[in-house]
Amino acid sequence: MGRVAIVGVGRVGSFVAHYLRGRGYDLRLLDVSERVRDLAEKLGSEYRVVNALSINDLRTALSGVDLVVTAMPGSLGHEVVKNVVALGYNVIDVSFFPEDPGDIDELARKNKVLAILDCGIGPGFTNLLVGRAYEKLGGLTEYRIYIGGISEVYDPPFGVMLGFNPLDFIDEYRRPARYIENGEIRVVDPLSGPTGRVFIDGVGELEFFYTDGLRSLIKSFPNIRFAAEYTLRWPGHIEFMRGLKKLGLLDHNKLSGGVYADECLASAIASAAAKSDIRDITVLRIDACKDTNCLVYTQVVKPTSEWRAMERATGSFLSYITIEFLQGRVKMDYGVAYPERLAYLSDDILSMYEKDGMPISEKYIGR
């Protein structure tokens, strides 16, 4: 089966470790925190306490593994993936890092390894579904991706139960969002741009705003007239976040006492989520069309007694791609790759989600 190193055992990394170990895979767990020891002992796996930003430390810690899975915060993802690739390992990454991966692609080609990036729920699974729609419809002219992790019922003021790094959550509201309109790439501020509402079966009416989730999809398919990714939230959320922005709480500015505004907000969000007994859900909808023929995908993921919905949805896709790789079904050239190019595996991925209690609805609709 091969030995897999998981670098970063926070919420998503821990889920992946449990999932893979539960299916008999040999793991080595790496984290800068001593918490990795407890998880490794629970799973009966090897572990290393290591700073993944140090390539020398990483070299020693990765010796003898066959594949590396990285689950780091977005602010650290680029450097860690680059280190792994520089050391000559294939890597599957879930972090949403903002840097251009061109240097990683060059290193991966040079070292004859594959780096599959953005293997989360969105981007990640959403990319795979857009690629699937492209194949099934024989091309695409437009698509809209709606994705969001929200509380199962509206819980003001945020209406979210975080299953990932809170600073990455804040980034969704301050990172300029790219989309395609009339075949051209455009940029909009998430909280200043157009918003709207959409009805999701089994959930109700949600509001949406542009976020920068297209990433690789911006350039992946020709002849796209319109494409956008929107984040879903409960109605009223966007106006609340606009108020926080006006107060400067989304900015990385130092306040009195030496703390930063965005870090204080992130801490408050994480604390509130930890104290709440309201469950989360992850909601996904994709409308993908070639002229008048459309495919609509819908998925609503709920939590279990052990895992939040976002952890399940994100960690499962990362686990599925890892399993497909280890079983020899990923056939791609060396360099950087993205999930939309793995659409030929989509039957397998959808079957895995179904088996794990997270089914995806796929409907053909004419307009």
> Domain for residue 321, yes or no?
no
> Domain for residue 316, yes or no?
no
CATH number at residue 301: 3.30.360.10
From CA 36, how far away is CA 183, in angstroms rounded? Answer: 47
Instruction: Give the number of other Cβ atoms within 10 Å of residue 291's Cβ.
Output: 13
3-state SS class at 277: coil
Interacting residues of 9 by C-beta distance below 8 A, sequence separation 6+: 17, 29, 30, 31, 33, 35, 36, 39, 71
> Domain for residue 353, yes or no?
no
3-state SS class at 50: coil
Q: Give pLDDT, residue 82.
A: 98
> Domain for residue 282, yes or no?
yes
Torsion of CA 321, 173, 160, 310, to 10 degrees: 0
| 119-165 pLDDT, tens digit each | 999 999 999 999 999 999 999 999 999 999 999 988 888 888 766 67
Residue type, 247: L
Q: Please list the alpha-helical segments (H only) found in 119-254.
A: 125-137, 166-174, 217-220, 237-246
* Domain-terminating residue out of 91, 117, 143: 117
> Do 112 and 8 share a domain, yes or no?
yes
From CA 217, how far away is CA 267, in angstroms rounded? Answer: 32
> Do 78 and 143 share a domain, yes or no?
no
> Do 268 and 187 share a domain, yes or no?
yes
Structural domain range at position 294? 125-309+359-366
Q: Which of 77, 296, 117 is nearest to 201 (CA)?
A: 296
Q: Give pLDDT, residue 181.
A: 97
> Do 166 and 298 share a domain, yes or no?
yes
Name the residue with tokens 């190193």.
5
> Do 56 and 187 share a domain, yes or no?
no
| 206-244 pLDDT, tens digit each | 999 999 999 999 999 999 999 999 999 999 999 999 999
> Do 275 and 131 share a domain, yes or no?
yes
> Domain for residue 295, yes or no?
yes
Q: Which of 172, 70, 171 is nearest to 120 (CA)?
A: 70
User: What are the structure tokens assigned to 55, written together?
Assistant: 């390539």
> Do 104 and 183 share a domain, yes or no?
no
Query: Is-contact 354 360, C-beta < 8 A?
Result: yes
Domain count, the chain: 2
> Do 63 and 149 share a domain, yes or no?
no
Instruction: Give the start-end residues of each E strand in the chain.
Output: 3-7, 26-31, 46-49, 67-70, 91-93, 114-116, 142-151, 177-181, 184-188, 195-200, 204-211, 226-233, 280-290, 293-301, 335-337, 361-366
Question: pLDDT per position in the chain (367 positions), as tens?
Answer: 689 999 999 999 999 999 999 999 999 999 999 999 999 999 999 999 999 999 999 999 999 999 999 999 888 999 999 999 999 999 999 998 889 999 999 999 999 999 999 999 999 999 999 999 999 999 999 999 999 999 998 888 888 876 667 888 898 899 999 999 999 999 999 999 899 999 999 999 999 999 999 999 999 999 999 999 999 999 999 999 999 999 999 998 888 777 899 999 988 888 877 777 889 999 999 999 999 999 999 999 999 999 999 999 999 999 999 999 999 999 999 999 999 999 999 999 999 999 999 999 999 987 6
> Domain for residue 84, yes or no?
yes
Q: Give pLDDT, residue 88.
A: 98
> Do 38 and 138 share a domain, yes or no?
no
